[in-house]
Amino acid sequence: MKVSIPSPLHDYTEVQEVDAEGTTLAELLAHLDRQFPGLRFRIVDEQDRMRPHMRFFVNGEQVFEINHRLCSSDTIQIIQALSGG
């Protein structure tokens, strides 16, 4: 499936869209981390929780659980929220 990567993480992937596999977001992130070591830790913390500044969208709808089920036809967007003042 296609996964859109936010620009702050392009240092890992060097592109804005990659292919990955998995039946859940957790599996997808593990697959991405095998391709791009260190990427997963930027997205989820040590307790396997999504980092507060990261958002996941599956087929345009935001999901909140790392165990969210995926289909091979899904399109995934990982968005990094910006903060500051």
In a domain, 85, yes or no: no
**Host domain of residue 40:** 2-80
Q: Is residue 54 part of a domain?
A: yes
User: Domains in the chain: how many in total?
Assistant: 1
Q: Where does the pLDDT of residue 56 fall: very low under 50, low under 70, confident under 90, or very high at 90 and above?
A: very high
In a domain, 52, yes or no: yes
Tens-place pLDDT, residues 10-55: 999 999 999 999 999 999 999 999 999 999 999 999 998 999 899 9
User: Alpha-carbon distance 27 to 83, whole Å?
Assistant: 28
Task: Return the pLDDT at 81.
Answer: 82
C-alpha to C-alpha distance for 28 and 66, rounded to whole angstroms? 10
pLDDT given for residue 57 in this prediction: 97
Assigned domain for 8 exists: yes
Q: Residue for token digits 């990982």?
A: 78
pLDDT in tens, 74-85: 999 999 987 655
**12 lies in some domain:** yes
In this prediction, residue 85 carries a pLDDT of 54
